[in-house]
Amino acid sequence: MTTTDLLGGGGPEPAAGTATDPAAVTAGGTDAAPVVRLRGVRRTFDADLAPVRALRGVDLDVAAGDFVAVTGPSGCGKSTLLNVIAGLETVDDGTVDVAGDRISERDADWLARFRRHHVGIVFQFFNLIDGVSALQNIVLPASIGGMRRRAAESRARDLLDLLGLADRADQLPSTLSGGQRQRLAIARALVNSPTLLLADEPTGALDSEGGLEILELFRRLHADGQTIIVITHSADVAAGARRVVPMRDGRIAG
């Protein structure tokens, strides 16, 4: 079993452009059309004292199959940027195109379906469901994504195998180590073969060995064609990515 098998072939398809159903949008991204394209993106939050300008005019292109590390000081807008790309956060100004569709013009229902088909997200603190087994943590989002139960379980087992967790299928997340939990979270994020794997400080809660393990996994996924955007404070992770996008004060620096 290779990661390519599990990533649904890995390679990009031409962008659909005019598709209106998120499920119909292809993996997107030829050389001419990046999977992610942001232009002039601004996002301001209301706060007690003064509005916080989290994104102050961001332009960003991410090609299919790229592995991008977003770095920068706390509060510079990294998580806001990732949430905008995931369709979890709206923008005040500018355009956000993902997988051939202008997601910044879509409503919440469309975006929920878009995320199911195109986005896998990994967080610093795993966000696993603790009452159910490792296997079921992967099966659930697959079922919600429309996969039949047996197919979902089979795919979940393949992913557990790929991520070195085959013998942990029946354990509760709380009985796994931090590194194992994060690998499980990545398996869950991959179950619906997302166009984009997004990760917000995925190694932030791990020791350096656990962090390097996750980096190695991302590098394997990247080698098999997965598009990855990872926010990181880790110099190791940034050095392991194909490209670093440094942020400062709500803008891409440099």
Binding site for ligand ATP (CB under 6 A): 45, 47, 52, 54, 72, 74-80
- Return all residues near 4 (Cβ < 8 A) that are at least 6 apart: 10, 224, 225
The radius of gyration of the chain's CA atoms, rounded to the nearest angstrom, is 18
Q: Which residue is nearest to Mg ion (CB)?
A: 79
**Residue 77 Cβ, how far from ligand ATP at the closest point, in Å?**
4
DSSP string covering 12-52, please?
-----SS--SGGGS-S---SSS-SEEEEEEEEEE--SSS-E
Q: 21 vs 249, which CB is nearer to ligand ATP?
A: 249
Residue 2, token pair as written in the block:
């290779």
**Residue 108 Cβ, how far from Mg ion at the closest point, in Å?**
22
Beta strands in the chain, from DSSP E residues, in sequence order: 36-45, 52-62, 67-71, 93-98, 101-102, 119-123, 196-200, 227-231, 243-248, 251-252
Q: 82 vs 134, which CB is nearer to Mg ion?
A: 82
Sole window of 63-71, 78-86, 100-108, 134-142 interacting with Mg ion (rule: CB under 5 A): 78-86
Q: How far apart are CA 85 and CA 172, in angstroms?
A: 31
Q: 130 vs 249, which CB is nearer to ligand ATP?
A: 249
Q: Indicate whether 79 belongs to the interface with Mg ion (CB under 5 A).
A: yes
Residue 163 binds which one of ligand ATP, Mg ion, none, with CB within 5 to 8 A depending on kind? none
Instruction: Answer for the pair 55, 77: CB distance below 8 angstroms, yes or no.
Output: yes
Q: How far apart are CA 49 and CA 15, in angstroms?
A: 43
**Residue 73 Cβ, how far from ligand ATP at the closest point, in Å?**
7
**Residue 33 Cβ, how far from Mg ion at the closest point, in Å?**
28
**Residue 78 Cβ, how far from ligand ATP at the closest point, in Å?**
4
Residue 16 binds which one of Mg ion, ligand ATP, none, with CB within 5 to 8 A depending on kind? none
Instruction: Answer for the pair 103, 37: CB distance below 8 angstroms, yes or no.
Output: no
**Residue 47 Cβ, how far from ligand ATP at the closest point, in Å?**
5
Sole window of 76-84, 86-94, 123-131, 187-195 interacting with Mg ion (rule: CB under 5 A): 76-84
Q: 149 vs 248, which CB is nearer to ligand ATP?
A: 248
Q: Look at phi and psi of residue 94 and say left if phi exceeds 0, alpha if psi is from -120 to 50, else beta.
A: left
Question: By the criterion CB under 5 A, which residues form the site for Mg ion?
Answer: 79
